Structure 1
Amino acid sequence: MDTAMRIEVLPARLGDCLLVECVRGSGPPWRMLVDGGPPGTWPRLEKRLSRLEPDERHIDVTVVTHIDGDHIGGMLPFLRSEYAEDVGDYWFNGPPHLPSRDRVQGSVAEGLSLVAALLGDSAGPVLPWNRAFGGGPVDTGDESGFIEVPVPDGPRVTVLSPTHERLEVLDREWTEAIDQARRVWQGAVRPDIARPDILEPLGDLAAVAARKTADDTTAPNGSSIALLVEHRGARAVLGADAFGPVLGAALLGVAAHRGLPALEVDALKLPHHASRRNVTESLLEAAPARHYLVSTNGDTYHHPDDEALARVILTAPEGPTLWFNYRTQRTARWADPGLYERYGYCASFPDSPETGTVLELPATA
């Protein structure tokens, strides 16, 4: 069967760096790069991009989902590389797109290297920025809102997050958020999160899933650009670090628009590296999937959380597959044959820690 969509989750430590390709009938595939991981990810991303044929290196869209250092750090060297000028459009909400743009742009934009690169500075050319949105913000409006972006001879792309309210929150907290991102770029580790990883027995997944957890409230995560990509019958949700309730409401909005009770998808890249604060039952029920992608090595925040994966396994349709881009002590526990047999799922791991994981979705239309 022909492949419709290829999702490559590169090894990006605690962050995200995804390469998505949608196969066309002829010529090179439509290609989207989502985030660059933390600063140390760039050599791996550069090596991966160098494998593309010289005349097929065009990237249609590069998405910088939000300003956290584990998503944006590797984008800085990318923007200074030979690949930056061969991108059709960059999707990113920077100071010019926030509700009080005059105040924010005047105070921080000049010192923000990513935004400076996107605006065009002495170090490089002016790059296309949010052209698909008329140069304005990537903003779905109210909760349950979404934006469909037409792609000639390509996939159907739907923006699920962020809402206008989430951008307002980011606006108020921009300076603090970008300062935190800079500390990550500079290799700083907060002492409150540099702690040993304690692995608890999995056992009864219903009990694990039922543990009470607070929702994510961080401004950068809430501003994440999350997407639904559909092509030749294949359907994938790329959750970035978006809030579970925001993603779930948008997916239900899309489903209602299409006259469906829920939006069944082939793949769901779990938001916030499968954090229990973002992977909610309401999200999983809004978009039941066959494949669930996890992007993290767990070396800082100890993701994926057991509660999140337990919710996935118990909520998903029969026989889901968990796709990890790292095999670690934390993720390897989910390859237990006893758990497989009891709960009817399976797990997939990369062949090498240098390769990440690749999911190919077949064409059905």
Structure 2
Amino acid sequence: MPGAIRIELLPARLGDCLLVECLREDGRPWRMLIDGGPPDTWPLLEARLRRMPADDQAIDVAVITHIDSDHIGGMIPLLSSDLASRIGDVWFNGRTHLPGDQGRARSIDQGETVVSTLTGGARPGLAAGKMAGGPLPWNTAFGGGAIDTAAPAGVVEVSIPGGPTITVVSPTLTQLHKLGAAWLKVVAQAQREERPLPQPDVLEPLTDLQALASRPTVKDTSVANGSSIAVLVEHRGASAVLSGDAFGPVLAAGLAGIAKARGLKRLEVDAFKLPHHGSQANVTGALLATAPAGNYLVSSNGDVFHHPDDIALARVVTGAPSPPALWFNYRNARTERWADPALTGRYGHTAHFPDPAQPDAGVVLELPVRTG
């Protein structure tokens, strides 16, 4: 019997590139690709997609969570390639979806495409973001409109016949307003892909996780991060929060709104992809308390910004109702400390890494069917 949800975190360096499959007993799985990592992830992503079964190569939804080079870099060549014909719908908030005069100034019908929006206009070597049969389908599950929570702590659901139920957790309309005001600047910054050179990673001893977890929370002020599309995916009783780089308070409000609508005090989930690669600015105690999970996933090799932050993971390990499992798509000096037997023995958590025999495969979490 197949499981419920399979989440594959490809090794996308400092970025996100997730392949999510909602499995069914009969028929092909429903698939969602979330982000494409930075530009140098594209060859790996392309190879992975071309390894899909010859008789089943559909990608039902491709999600571009937000405009940032470590999320869109591998998506641009994908949407400009022959593989784009496999995609059923692209979920992405482009300029045309943003509130205010800027957003109303253009429309998809006037020729705007996903790729031209991502790049600020088609560049040499890139197609116009169209398939042979016409423009890429864009936010069709939302009537072609914006993807947001509709209101503070609102609940917007998409139910896939025979597949998952997907609930939008972020962004809010407020965050889209902010993106609209800074659109040109955000796109230009994403195109430049200006990143500091990797610096030596100074690792603190993980001796007192309670003390680490209680350190003051910094605030993420990135307009792009705040506009991230984040979703709750539920299928056959299993559930996963896939959060992009969304703000902790926005995620907490969205998840609390879902819990309230269901008459719950909190929304317990099976898996939670930590926002912003495990940054302490986004992984807050309030967020973790709103939607505690059994499994927490981190997508980052830590070579530039040294994610995941120890403070963030300390909050995860010490704040979970029961000892969680940590899933890393890279094994390195920063992440392997969380598998130290002395640490796991003290706090009870477990740590999981990619198969060393398949260094290009990332890490895979398979969630079982849950009944009752």
TM-score, with length taken from structure 1: 0.93
Match for residue 269 of structure 1?
A: 273
SS of the residue 1:49 aligns to? helix
Deviation at 1:285, TM superposition (A): 0.5
Deviation at 1:141, TM superposition (A): 2.5
Deviations 1:33-61 (A, max 9, x none): 00000001111111111111122111111
Alignment match of 2:256 (pick from 252, 258, 266) = 252
Contact 1:94 1:115 in 2 (8 A): no
1:359 aligns with 2:365: yes
Q: Which amino acid aligns with 1:183?
A: R
Q: Which amino acid aligns with 1:349?
A: F
Match for residue 278 of structure 1?
A: 282
Q: Which amino acid aligns with 2:155?
A: F
Alignment match of 2:201 (pick from 197, 201, 205) = 197
Match for residue 20 of structure 1?
A: 20
Match for residue 70 of structure 1?
A: 70
Alignment match of 2:213 (pick from 206, 209, 221) = 209
Contact 1:222 1:242 in 2 (8 A): yes
1:154 aligns with 2:163: yes
SS of the residue 1:261 aligns to? coil
RMSD: 1.9
Q: 1: distance between equivalents of 2:147 and 2:190?
A: 20
Deviation at 1:236, TM superposition (A): 0.4
Q: 2: distance between equivalents of 1:260 and 1:123?
A: 44
Q: 1: distance between equivalents of 2:289 and 2:15?
A: 25
Q: 2: distance between equivalents of 1:140 and 1:170?
A: 15
Deviation at 1:114, TM superposition (A): 5.1
Match for residue 29 of structure 1?
A: 29
Q: 2: distance between equivalents of 1:210 and 1:283?
A: 14
Match for residue 89 of structure 2?
A: 89
Deviation at 1:317, TM superposition (A): 2.4
Deviation at 1:83, TM superposition (A): 1.5
1:311 aligns with 2:320: no
Change (3 A) 1:21 1:112: same
Aligned pairs, how many? 357
Deviations 1:121-170 (A, max 9, x none): 38643010000111110021332112111211110110100000000111
Deviations 1:262-287 (A, max 9, x none): 01100000000000000001110011
Contact 2:72 2:118 in 1 (8 A): no
Q: 2: distance between equivalents of 1:98 and 1:113?
A: 14
Q: Which amino acid aligns with 2:7?
A: I
Match for residue 145 of structure 2?
A: 136
Q: 1: distance between equivalents of 2:129 and 2:283?
A: 42
Match for residue 168 of structure 1?
A: 177
Deviation at 1:88, TM superposition (A): 1.0
Unaligned 5+ segments in structure 1 are none
Aligned-residue identity in percent = 58
Q: 2: distance between equivalents of 1:143 and 1:181?
A: 28
Deviations 1:325-359 (A, max 9, x none): 00011111111111111111010010133110000
Q: 2: distance between equivalents of 1:146 and 1:162?
A: 12
TM-score, with length taken from structure 2: 0.92
Contact 1:38 1:74 in 2 (8 A): yes
Alignment match of 1:331 (pick from 309, 314, 335) = 335
SS of the residue 2:336 aligns to? helix
Q: 1: distance between equivalents of 2:202 and 2:320?
A: 26
